[in-house]
Structure 1
Amino acid sequence: MRKELAASSPNNPLQLYYGAYTYANMAAAFVVETERWDSANELFEPLQTLTKANSSAGATGQTKPPQPENGAIQADLMSLQTLPIFVRGLAAAKQGSAADDKSIAELQTIAKQYSGTQEPALAQALKRLEIQRLEIAAAKSASKDDFNQAIATMKQATALEASLSPPLGPPELIKPSHELFGEILLQAKRPKQAAEQFATSLRRHENRARSLLGTARAAAQNGNTQVAANTYAQLVRQWQQADAQLPELREAQNYSNRSGAR
């Protein structure tokens, strides 16, 4: 994809945008799924390079890109703008960096550009953008151990996601809000409530690894050893081709081995 982006031409803006959109989703998913927060800036660098090389296309710039009549395409273009901002902001919040405020402000600026839209696809995209903003804010609060504020913010985010239709494939939100809520509740040492959020996430995103991992951790902390063992064993089977040194895989294997789960 990096090679494809480097060879892209501004003569076909929509083709350029879709190439960038595909890459942005790949990079965002990788950072969020692996939690390799340090890699966020590096992985999105090709999009910044593309923006400079094809400034007329405005693929990831802060200015509003050309708007086609198709609302679904407009929504995709909005996602292209917001994905790098969101992932960088979430990474900053997770690392305790003040850069998260900049990302929140940038997301708010983009939202204002599309405010008042009556187009259904764009309205849904604006909801996802607001969820992204709330997730960064909640992660920031959690990093400062302000869990009451983080929980209040995530309640807003999950209520917004609940108003969206469950995805037919991979999550439309790179970080499902119920999953992040569960992780924050684990940080706050509220494993019972965390388990409820992970259960909701798994109803919307069946067999999602990060939600299964959260379910196993919450069960272990709740003393539900059988549920924890079974869920960790499921992860081991699901990740049988994963890198052997993946910390989450080793965590699941160690628990399964101790409990004798199959």
Structure 2
Amino acid sequence: MSFETLPEIGMGTFRLKGDVARDSVKSALSLGYRHIDTAQMYENEAEVGDGITSSGIPRRGIFLTTKIWHDRLAGSELINSLHESLDRLKTDHVDLALIHWPSPNDQVPMADYLGALKDAQREGLTRHIGVSNFTCAQMDEAKAILGDTPIFTNQVEVHPFLANRKVVEHARRIGIAITGYMPLAVGKVMEDETLIRIGAAHNASPAQIAIAWLVSRGVVPIPSSTRSKHQKANLAALNIRLSEEEIADIDKLDRGERIANPSFAPKWD
């Protein structure tokens, strides 16, 4: 199977460790997920690899993403780190390798690490390349550096309380897909009255409404869920069609509430 675009939903694995990570990945794949997202920094690539191996789903039928941490961007470190990731994931390639965060204070020039990422793609370590947590200006710079090599996605935080509109719209204009992490705002969507009300009208949970809202904006959500009941509900959210009025009501929830904001983050848009 050849994935020329991102599957419309993925299984996020941030904060999942040990058997929980292993079992969650296996469960998600058994339910029909075909996009699994991990990262070097999550320290669960080995368990994610185990979950994939034990699922019985052929590797070619799974879209697998990992992300390179910012301490492995310099010189030969990037490619070395990707080889280590592949060993842990028990595969000879990932479908997508992302730069997890732009190099803090441009310590490593973007041209250097994106050049190394392009080399990794040329060597067959990854089928596609992309970025994560890049601002509009950084996406423009990355696009200029990579030229004809497509940037498959920019993975950024997106949920009803952080619409990240400027980045989402700029990415669309320049032909970069957006993957939305933390789409449920680490569970905060469950308590929101607007999402509860709209959910009731669709016989759906607030989490399902949040996912349907992301999808309506052309964003690929990667919710992290350990229970098969919730994983199944997240998949079912793809079938919810929100009205324009409902989308407008959810749009109003945006309050710029950023959850992932480490000290080394770029200057956000």
TM above 0.5: no
Rg bigger for which structure? 1
Q: Point out the structure with the larger strand share.
A: 2
TM normalised by structure 2 equals 0.30
